[in-house]
Copies of this chain bind each other. A is one copy, B any other.
Amino acid sequence: MNIGEVAQASGLPSKTIRYYEEIGLVRPMRSENGYRHFRDTDLHKLNFIGRARALGFSIEDCRALLALYEDESRESASVKKIAREHLDRIDEKIAQLSDMRATLSHLVDCCAGDNRPDCPILNDLGKLDGSPA
Contact = CB atoms under 8 A, between A and B. Distances in A.
B103 A48 contact: no
Interface in A47-97: 47-48, 51-52, 54-56, 65, 68-69, 71-77, 79-81, 83-84, 86-87, 90-91, 93-94, 97
A28 B77 CA distance: 54
A51 to B, nearest CB: 5
A76 B93 CA distance: 30
Q: A-side binding surface: helix, strand, loop or mixed?
A: helix
A73 B77 CA distance: 61
Contacts of A79: 111, 113, 119, 121-122
**Nearest 5 interchain pairs by C-beta:** A80-B113, A76-B119, A75-B115, A80-B111, A77-B113
